[in-house]
C-alpha cells in the first residue's frame, strides 16, 4: 500500500496537461510541490519566460496544454454563437 500512495502523490505533483500532451518516462517529467504546480499552471515556470501557463476553460475550470488544445475542447464540448461568427466575432463560446 505504501508504494501505491507514493505513486499517487508523484502523479499529483506532475502537470496533467503536460502528461496528456507528451508521452515521457516518469523520470523525465518535472515534479512540483503544490505551490509550484499552481504557479506553473497559472503563470508558467520561473526558469522559462517563454511559457505563460496553461490556458483555462472558464466553463469547466479545466486547464489545457496550449491554446490549440483549449480551442479544440471548446469546439467539441461547448457551443459557439453562429450569429457572432457571421458578424466576424470569433471564439465566442457558451455552456
pLDDT, tens digit, 9 for 90 and up, residues 4-33: 444 444 445 677 777 777 777 777 778 788
CA 71/CA 93 separation, integer angstroms: 10
Tell whether 33 and 78 lie within a shared domain: no
Pairing of strands 79-80, 93-94: antiparallel
Q: Which structural domain, as residue segments, surrounds residue 47?
A: 1-54
CB atoms within 10 A of CB 82: 9
Total length of the chain: 95
Give the model confidence (pLDDT) of 29-48 as tens digits: 787 888 888 888 888 888 87
Whole-number pLDDT of residue 3: 47
Q: How confident is the model at residue 50 (pLDDT cuts 50, 70, 90)?
A: confident
Q: How many domains does the chain have?
A: 2
Cα angle: 33, vertex 26, 6; to 5 degrees: 55
Tell whether 44 and 14 lie within a shared domain: yes
pTM: 0.63
Tell whether 3 and 32 lie within a shared domain: yes
Whole-number pLDDT of residue 5: 46
Tell whether 5 and 45 lie within a shared domain: yes
Give the model confidence (pLDDT) of 62-77 as tens digits: 899 888 998 888 888 8
Whole-number pLDDT of residue 44: 84
Tell whether 60 and 50 lie within a shared domain: no
Amino acid at each position: 500500500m505504501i508504494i501505491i500512495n507514493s505513486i499517487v502523490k508523484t502523479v499529483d505533483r506532475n502537470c496533467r496537461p503536460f502528461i496528456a500532451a507528451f508521452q515521457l518516462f516518469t523520470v523525465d517529467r518535472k515534479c512540483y510541490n503544490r505551490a509550484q504546480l499552481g504557479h506553473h499552471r497559472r503563470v508558467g515556470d520561473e526558469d522559462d519566460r517563454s511559457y505563460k501557463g496553461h490556458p483555462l476553460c472558464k466553463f469547466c475550470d479545466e486547464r489545457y496544454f496550449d491554446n490549440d488544445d483549449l480551442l479544440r475542447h471548446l469546439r467539441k464540448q461547448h457551443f459557439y454563437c453562429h450569429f457572432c461568427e457571421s458578424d466576424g466575432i470569433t471564439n465566442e463560446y457558451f455552456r
